[in-house]
């Protein structure tokens, strides 16, 4: 089928915009089009498949998983290009859905390794660090008494001493992809506590990818425009698809970029919400270092006593391999990524040398750096709300004209920034569509499901 141009789509849309409504069971119409085959899109498709509803799951890129994908070609071992930490596995719907899949899922170490210059932190320094961590998390809990939003940076006690910069990095860039001064304290305080973590030896993306099996994902099919007038039509690179509903799971940065045209345009309310939920930066600088030259344990997480924002974290010997991930994030990570992969690898080498000695540079055999901020299908890492806009997530949950629902990690109020949050958001969107069709009963589309009510009660 020839590629559909914007002009021909607009001509076809003129007919669809007419007051006449297509028959409900038109042979050319399906129930739901799901845009994006990341965690939210896969979850929505599985929910619709279980309800025996027709759907098309379309993906602009050449792979499933979105920001959770595993590569095995670059280093010859599983390398999670995006999400890697599996948070709260006992409640994570991805691990629960995987069931007896044969994947090796094991606990992440609970402790961290601290470096002060080129030595390990002393016991007294570790105690000071742990006390600073406790005081910081207590400050988050105290925010419930606040009457007005503020920059999250103001949550931190201002007397953390030598660990001030490390706390700012851990709570801000490493956790949210943004600097603490740029994000809502209310939104950060609402985030669900990550009580435990596990890793998947075969890769988190590989685990997620298995859950797309049998869903008929159509890859390499970007959406050019969506007409949501009287009838609903989606223009793709393979032609126009008619549907009764659309579930949009693209990132907030893609939504706000104008890459996908909405006819009529998105209401200002939704455009503003997307702008207030922009994605931060979080990049992996992966290094192949055979022979364990840093003398670290499997999945050892290393922080430094930094003096400013030009810092990183190290995840060493990933799943027992020679793969090491230097994690950069926030404004520093974004600016470093703009300089290109060579500059990122150079920073990683010098940063490791500052912690372990210059000899480690010669131990690096290969490197690869991600750059999610310029990936046209994501344009960033994870969402974080700007100050004073903590209600933005709820706004994007509002369906458009009873035809378009939004889903993704940015739409989960407590598990934003996580694969599990994206999955639950996709499931909830599919449930809302099914209620609209009359296939689910008991709650309207703007009320939380029983599962979400239980979760909200647990988090209060």
3-class secondary-structure state, position 416: coil
Q: What pLDDT is recorded for position 158?
A: 81
Architecture label for domain 6-65+212-278+380-459: 3-Layer(bba) Sandwich (3.50)
Phi/psi at 19 (5° precision): -60, -30
Alpha-carbon distance of 259 to 265, in angstroms, equals 12
Residue 317: closest CA among 336, 301, 335, 334 = 301
Alpha-carbon distance of 447 to 130, in angstroms, equals 40
Alpha-carbon distance of 66 to 83, in angstroms, equals 10
Ordered alpha helix ranges (H), 339-415: 341-356, 392-396
Alpha-carbon distance of 194 to 319, in angstroms, equals 20
Q: What pLDDT is recorded for position 3?
A: 38
Architecture label for domain 111-195+280-374: Alpha-Beta Complex (3.90)
Phi-psi region of 158 (alpha: psi -120 to 50; beta: other; left: phi over 0): alpha
Give 121's DSSP letter: P
Give 179's DSSP letter: -
Alpha-carbon distance of 68 to 279, in angstroms, equals 15
> Tokens standing for 97?
């859905």
460 residues of the chain, pLDDT tens digit each: 333 344 444 434 443 443 333 223 333 579 999 999 999 999 999 999 999 999 999 999 999 999 999 999 999 999 999 999 999 999 898 988 776 778 999 999 988 999 999 999 999 999 999 998 888 888 777 776 677 889 999 888 888 889 999 999 999 999 999 999 999 998 988 887 777 899 999 999 999 999 999 999 999 999 999 999 888 999 999 999 999 999 999 999 999 999 999 999 999 999 999 999 999 999 999 999 999 999 999 999 999 999 999 999 999 999 999 999 999 999 999 999 999 999 999 999 999 999 999 999 999 999 999 999 999 999 999 999 999 998 999 999 999 999 999 999 999 999 999 999 999 999 999 999 999 999 887 554 444 444 443 444 334 3
β-strand 313-316 against 300-304: which pairing, if any? antiparallel
pTM, full prediction: 0.89
Distance of CA 291 to the CA centre of its chain: 33
> Tokens standing for 323?
């793969």
Give yes or no for a contact between 105 and 86, defined as CB atoms under 8 angstroms apart.
yes
Cα dist. 391→4, 19, 141, 405 in Å? 37, 34, 19, 17
Q: What pLDDT is recorded for position 99?
A: 66
List the beta bridge partners of residue 327. Answer: 284, 313
Give yes or no for a contact between 201 and 45, defined as CB atoms under 8 angstroms apart.
no
CB under 8 Å to 35, separation ≥6 — which residues?
41, 58, 223, 234, 246, 247, 248, 249, 250, 260
3-class secondary-structure state, position 457: helix
Domain borders along the chain are 6-65+212-278+380-459, 111-195+280-374
Give yes or no for a contact between 413 and 394, defined as CB atoms under 8 angstroms apart.
yes
Give yes or no for a contact between 184 and 146, defined as CB atoms under 8 angstroms apart.
no
């Amino acid at each position: 089928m020839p590629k559909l141009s914007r002009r021909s789509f607009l001509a076809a849309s003129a007919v669809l915009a007419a007051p006449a409504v297509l028959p409900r069971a038109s042979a050319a119409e399906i129930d739901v089009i799901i845009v994006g085959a990341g965690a939210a899109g896969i979850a929505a498709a599985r929910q619709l498949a279980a309800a025996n509803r027709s759907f098309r799951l379309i993906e602009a890129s050449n792979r499933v998983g979105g920001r959770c994908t595993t590569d095995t070609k670059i280093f010859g071992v599983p390398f999670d290009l995006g999400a890697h930490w599996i948070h709260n596995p006992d409640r994570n719907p991805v691990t629960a859905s995987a069931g007896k899949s044969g994947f090796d899922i094991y606990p992440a170490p609970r402790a961290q390794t601290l470096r002060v210059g080129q030595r390990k932190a002393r016991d007294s320094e570790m105690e000071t660090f742990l006390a600073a961590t406790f005081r910081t998390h207590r400050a988050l809990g105290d925010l419930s008494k606040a009457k007005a939003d503020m920059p999250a940076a103001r949550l931190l006690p201002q007397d953390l001493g030598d660990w001030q910069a490390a706390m700012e990095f851990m709570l801000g860039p490493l956790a949210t992809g943004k600097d603490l001064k740029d994000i809502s304290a209310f939104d950060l305080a609402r985030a669900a506590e990550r009580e435990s973590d596990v890793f998947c030896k075969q890769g988190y993306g590989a685990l997620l990818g298995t859950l797309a099996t049998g869903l008929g994902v159509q890859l390499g099919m970007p959406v050019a425009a969506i007409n949501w007038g009287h009838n609903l039509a989606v223009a793709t690179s393979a032609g126009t698809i008619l549907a009764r509903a659309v579930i949009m799971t693209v990132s907030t940065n893609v939504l706000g970029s104008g890459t996908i045209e909405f006819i009529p345009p998105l209401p200002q309310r939704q455009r503003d919400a997307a702008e207030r939920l922009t994605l931060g930066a979080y990049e992996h600088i992966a290094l192949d270092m055979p022979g364990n030259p840093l003398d670290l344990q499997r999945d050892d997480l290393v922080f430094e006593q930094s003096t400013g924002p030009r810092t990183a974290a190290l995840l060493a010997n990933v799943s027992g391999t020679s793969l090491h991930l230097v994690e950069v994030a926030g404004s520093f990570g974004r600016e470093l990524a703009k300089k290109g992969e060579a500059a990122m690898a150079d920073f990683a080498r010098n940063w490791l040398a500052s912690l372990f000695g210059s000899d480690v540079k010669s131990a690096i055999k290969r490197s690869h750096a991600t750059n999610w901020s310029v990936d046209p299908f994501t344009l960033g890492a994870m969402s974080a709300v700007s100050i004073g806009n903590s209600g933005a997530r709820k706004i994007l949950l509002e369906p458009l004209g009873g035809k378009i629902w939004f889903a993704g990690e940015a739409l989960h109020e407590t598990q934003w920034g996580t694969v599990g949050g994206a999955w639950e958001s996709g499931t909830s969107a599919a449930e809302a569509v099914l209620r609209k069709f009359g296939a689910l009963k008991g709650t309207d589309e703007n009320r939380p499901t029983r599962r979400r009510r239980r979760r909200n009660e647990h988090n209060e």
